[in-house]
């Protein structure tokens, strides 16, 4: 799905003084692209994703997803959004949690079964366990399975690998890329891990400290499958790092 973000501003009116979270963000994301968004923590990356998911209304500016507002795209069940917290229903088993996403969104699952996804996440042995019986990393994998079971059109992922160890991160990265190649969804992937961004995305957008502005925009043309050893990888990482270094 093609996403057009036009002069987007967002501020929160929690205290007497409004907190400016996003300042004049304009981005065009091509359909089927994998865009990683990196930036210092607390800069407004999650806010941007929430706006894209239609969970928040922008203060000014606009977001168009294939020409429609995020709320409309969500109503057509074209969006799968994954929050930073696993947000699993504690009263259902892991399996039921994944299955539930499809029950609520019957018209938009992508043909993968909960069983396949749990196997992919190495959680099949815990299908009948309840979320409170899982570690933080396992909960996040279950939430990832739930998000990936939905909407081949647009994936909005908010640091989905945050509480995973490096090894699992690498493995799941490959699985995610495989699903992406299979269904060609548009992906917006928020992360603070530069390596993760370079390994997965074909475009990396660097946001500044709050209020977030677009600092840099890198197109990653490294051939896939990518690894940290391939030529050009380290220079790309360095470039993004120095771009972030300005604000750090």
Say if CB 155 and CB 188 are below 8 A apart.
yes
Taking residues 142 to 181 in sequence order and writing x for each that binds other proteins by CB under 8 A, - otherwise, the string is --------x-------------------------------
Site for other proteins in 125-144 (CB under 8 A): 130-133
Encoding tokens for residue 172?
């799941």
- Angle at CA of residue 205, ends 233 and 67, nearest 5°: 130
Under rule CB under 8 A, residue 90 binds other proteins: yes
Minimum CB–partner distance for residue 145 and other proteins (Å): 13
Comparing CB distances to other proteins, the nearer of 33 and 54 is 54
Stretch that binds other proteins, among 80-88, 174-182, 209-217, 226-234 (CB under 8 A): 80-88
Under rule CB under 8 A, residue 55 binds other proteins: yes
Comparing CB distances to other proteins, the nearer of 27 and 53 is 53
| Residue from 79, 176, 194, 240 in contact with other proteins (CB under 8 A) | 79
Task: Summarize as ranges the residues that interact with other proteins (CB under 8 A).
Answer: 53-55, 71, 74-75, 77, 79-81, 83, 85, 87, 89-91, 100-101, 104-105, 130-133, 150
């Amino acid at each position: 799905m093609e996403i057009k973000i036009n002069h987007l501003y967002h501020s929160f009116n929690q205290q007497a003084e409004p907190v400016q979270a996003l300042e004049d963000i304009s981005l065009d994301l091509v359909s089927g692209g994998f865009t990683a968004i990196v930036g210092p923590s607390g800069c407004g990356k999650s806010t941007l994703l929430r706006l894209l998911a239609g969970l928040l209304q922008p203060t000014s500016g606009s977001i168009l997803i294939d020409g429609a507002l995020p709320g409309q795209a969500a109503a057509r069940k074209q969006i799968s959004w994954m929050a930073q917290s696993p947000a699993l229903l504690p009263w259902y088993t892991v399996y039921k949690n994944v299955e539930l996403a499809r029950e609520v969104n019957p018209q938009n699952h992508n043909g993968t079964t909960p069983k396949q996804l749990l196997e992919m996440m190495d959680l099949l042995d815990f299908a009948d366990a309840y979320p409170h019986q899982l570690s933080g990393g396992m909960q996040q994998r279950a939430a990832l399975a739930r998000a990936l079971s939905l909407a081949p059109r647009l994936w909005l992922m908010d640091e989905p690998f945050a509480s995973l160890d490096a090894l699992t991160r690498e493995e799941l990265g490959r699985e995610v890329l495989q699903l992406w190649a299979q269904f060609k969804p548009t992906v917006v992937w928020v992360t603070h891990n530069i390596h993760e961004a370079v390994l997965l995305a074909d475009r990396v957008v660097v946001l500044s400290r709050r209020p977030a502005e677009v600092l840099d925009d890198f197109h990653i043309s490294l051939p896939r499958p990518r690894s940290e050893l391939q030529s050009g990888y380290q220079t790309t990482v360095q470039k993004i790092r120095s771009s972030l270094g300005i604000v750090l």
